[in-house]
Chain A
Amino acid sequence: MTDGQQLSGRQLVALLVLMRLEVATIILPSVSCVDQPRESWVAALAGTLAAVPFGLLVAALARRFPGQTVVQFGRAMLGRLAGTFVAFVYVVFFFLIASSVSREVGEAYVASAMPETPWFAFAAVVLAVAAVAAASGIEVIGRAAELLVVAALALFITVLVLPLDMMRISNLLPVLERGLAPALPASLISFGLFGEMIAGWMLAPYLDYPHKMGKYLVSYVVISGVVLIAAILAVVAAFGPTANSRILPVYNLARNVSVARFLERVEMIPLAIWTFAAWVKIGLFLWVSAAAISQIAGLKDYRPLVFPLAFLAAAVSPVLHEDLFGLLDYLSWDNWPVYACTLQVTLLAVLWGAALLRGGGGKAGRSETKRAEGHARPGRGGTGQRPAKKGGHTPGN
């Protein structure tokens, strides 16, 4: 029941970096959903630093159960009922994000470039294309991400650097005037978004070098953290105290670029970046949801689930937030970030706790893993066989 797909480390990092930066390119909630944008970079730094040990723990857990997804090792350690519940929570988490992201993209397009178009048009298109990618397999999405992440990052950095004449360091001072504590709740925003890396628990069986997962996750945190903090600094330096009136800070920043009266109005660059990042993120999360559901339900093939999930995500997206302000409120620290951080940390703690207590997986308890389902990857139909090289999509390969 394997499908012969593999993810290289670079693809994993690319996937995760785009996943993380998608929100930053569109809304940059650390700045636009926060009271004091001047201190956001401190909060983002705190979130990034906290994400590093989190990533190491996530990777270590996956390493204990080589070739298994969270559905499998969750059920193995927690028992069928509790494990299924945990897996269900996991699926819902990612499914809702996919739906929300499609809404974000739609609203962003409407607010910026095409105000007359209903946002749903964009959301539906992105979901459709992402569904096609998800149904083609994780390697497809991974390769696409790998190809374009470098360009996306380079363009993003360019957009941050071009408006240098607008930026004033005085807009960034004073630093932490009220002390560290009031700035920290906003770090939940960054941490919650970093924590989406627990998608890695479904991706782990596909890695070509599973033992390097820790390194991959740390590189993801470092790369996206650096870019994120640079973005926050750039936006706040350019817009000063008016920064949190911007709904789309990076877009607005690019709009006002004027270099030597020649290079102006490069706002289409953030548009392109966020479209692509959103597509990758939605594709990834649709895949994660479909794959996990197929494993929970014991299905042989996850692909038939992808398009129904996409439809469902499209149907849910208008309901998820009432309007754009609802979306912004959702992303401020006391809404989704609290939920996300709690979920991520709890899942990690529960699974680790079970692993330590029941001694499951890894070097200890090898017998348990054999007893549990040894089928690693979500099936694509056909008999299971582990090919030596990357295989095609034909069943039974």
Chain B
Amino acid sequence: MLILAILVTASGCWSSKEIDVLAFATSAGVDRNAETDSPIVTVRIVKPEAIATGGQVGLSPERAFWTVSSEGRTVFEATRNLLQLSPKRIFGGHGRLLVIGEDAARQGVQAYLDFIDRDGETRRAVHMLIVRGETAQKFLEAEFELSPAADLGLETQLAGGRAGMGTIAVTLNEFLIALETPGLEPVASAAEIVVKIPGGIAGEVERSEVKSSPQVGGTAVFRGDRLVGWLDPLDTRGLMWVTGRVVSTVVVVPCPTGDGEDVTLEILKAKAKMEVDVRGDSPTVSVFVDVGAALAELEAYINPLDWPGSVDQLQALLADAVEGEIRSCLHKCQVELGADVFGFGAAIYRSSPAVWRRIEGSWDDMFPLVPVRISVRAEIRRSGVSGRSLRIR
């Protein structure tokens, strides 16, 4: 009896997948074939052997990854068709990035996202990128100089919030929640391909020179599930101030000495609160931002000990700068794009659901006209290891 039981259980299960038959897809991309309106799925598979030998300075001649694409009537069918091209079964569990081409995003991503959410292998923690002006396929073929697997590097940066100024990191989970939340429009990170050598994207197996690099910056703005526009990095930062996503960034303000020099302030912490006032006919929104910064760079000579008001002036300048970025972003989103990416509608819903139910239908018309009051409080807390800056005698 016992032998039978062991025989049955120890021989392996139906679902066993040995690791050497799996191809690990670190990123996936979806594009749209404009003629047939069918999705093209691209998958970037990492080659662990190539990365392992790429530890030394100067990368191994073999590209550390392989991209493969195929088409189908639906995303899942396209993914299955990939198996015809790949000797190993593609495993999506370690995916980091989900890249969608601009054309596909403009048509609406709902049809593409269901499979990705429903499949047990993909995770909702993947970061979403929309490629501006190119297809996801081309994006996934581009690579970084420093890291053989660009998407792993990108994703580390995005997750850490350190991918540069004006880069917003959006996970699939956040995107889907924004889709289903009334009064909040989804956003995704915007990405581009920087072509270093004109006329080429990348070699197939061998890498001679890095021909193009992926670059992330800015935001893709959606209405519903359709892409409607882009925010440049400064406007993106405005969005990040309001939604409390600023992790570590740098703001340059003019020097209070007034001689055209600049002061760089490093943002240590930024918190934002949104309050909605629904009394009366139309709602108004107040945004309160609390910024903590460090004095990072002084181009001119300032001695805060001699000139106590300098810090106050810098704080005021910082507050103005932040408010300016927010206003610029507001203008872009309210007037030009008409997309409530800040979640004003959702804030109304949270504070008074009855009012939201009344205005929900006309929110698209009301949103561009909502008056927003911005109040920024900036505090400079540190200044590195120097007090005063250099004085030339």
Contacts and interface: CB of A to CB of B under 8 A. Distances in A.
Interface of A: 111-118, 121, 125, 166, 170-171, 173-174, 177-178, 238-242, 245, 252, 255-256, 258, 261, 265
B13 A114 contact: yes
Contacts of B173: 166, 238-239, 242, 256
B15 interface: yes
Interface stretch (B84-92, B208-216, B262-270, B348-356): B348-356
Interface string B1-32: 00000000100011100000000000000000
Contact of A174 (B159, B177, B350): B350
Contacts of B9: 125
Nearest to B159: A261
Interface in B106-164: 117, 120, 123-125, 156, 159
A255 B94 CA distance: 11
A111 B354 CA distance: 39
B97 interface: no
A268 to B, nearest CB: 13
A174 B180 contact: no
A163 to B, nearest CB: 9
Interface string B164-183: 00000001010011001100
A242 B177 contact: yes
Contact of A256 (B13, B124, B180): B124
A240 B350 contact: no
A265 B123 contact: yes
26 contacts: A111-B120, A113-B15, A113-B120, A114-B15, A115-B15, A115-B120, A116-B14, A116-B15, A117-B15, A118-B14, A125-B9, A166-B125, A170-B346, A170-B350, A171-B177, A174-B349, A174-B350, A174-B351, A174-B352, A178-B353, A240-B180, A241-B180, A256-B124, A256-B125, A258-B125, A265-B123
A238 B173 CA distance: 8
**Closest 9 A/B residue pairs (Cβ):** A114-B15, A177-B353, A240-B177, A241-B180, A173-B350, A117-B14, A116-B14, A116-B15, A256-B125
A255 B177 CA distance: 17
B236 to A, nearest CB: 20
Given A117-B14, A170-B346, A174-B353, 4 more contacts: A113-B15, A117-B15, A256-B123, A261-B156
Interface in B318-358: 343, 346, 349-354
A266 to B, nearest CB: 12
Contacts of B352: 174
Interface in B350-368: 350-354
Interface residues of B, number: 26
A384 to B, nearest CB: 32
A113 B156 CA distance: 27
Nearest to B181: A241
B151 to A, nearest CB: 14
Contacts of B117: 245
B177 A239 contact: yes
A162 B171 CA distance: 17
Q: By CB atoms of chain B within 10 A, which of A166, A240, A252 has the most? A: A240
A305 to B, nearest CB: 20
B376 to A, nearest CB: 21
A131 to B, nearest CB: 13
Contacts of B349: 174
Nearest to A122: B13
Nearest to A113: B15
Interface string B275-315: 00000000000000000000000000000000000000000
Nearest to B114: A245
A174 to B, nearest CB: 5
Contacts of B123: 255-256, 265
A36 to B, nearest CB: 12
Nearest to A253: B124
Contacts of A121: 14
B180 A112 contact: no
A178 to B, nearest CB: 8
A93 to B, nearest CB: 31
A345 B101 CA distance: 58
A171 B15 CA distance: 36
A118 B14 CA distance: 8
A282 B177 CA distance: 37
Contacts of A111: 120
A127 to B, nearest CB: 14
Contacts of A118: 14
A358 to B, nearest CB: 50
A114 B180 CA distance: 30
Nearest to B177: A240
A238 B177 CA distance: 9
Contacts of A170: 343, 346, 350
Nearest to B125: A256
A117 B12 CA distance: 11
B260 to A, nearest CB: 42
A178 B354 CA distance: 9
Contact of A117 (B13, B125, B176): B13
A162 to B, nearest CB: 12
A39 to B, nearest CB: 12
A240 B186 CA distance: 14
Contacts of B93: 265
A137 B9 CA distance: 26
Nearest to A257: B125
Contacts of A240: 177, 180-181
A380 to B, nearest CB: 22
A114 B14 contact: yes
Most A-side CB within 10 Å, residue of B120, B180, B352: B120
Contacts of A177: 353-354
A345 to B, nearest CB: 33
Interface in B17-54: none
A115 B15 CA distance: 7
Contacts of A174: 349-353
A115 B17 CA distance: 12
Interface centre among B124, B156, B176, B349 (most CB of A within 10 A): B124
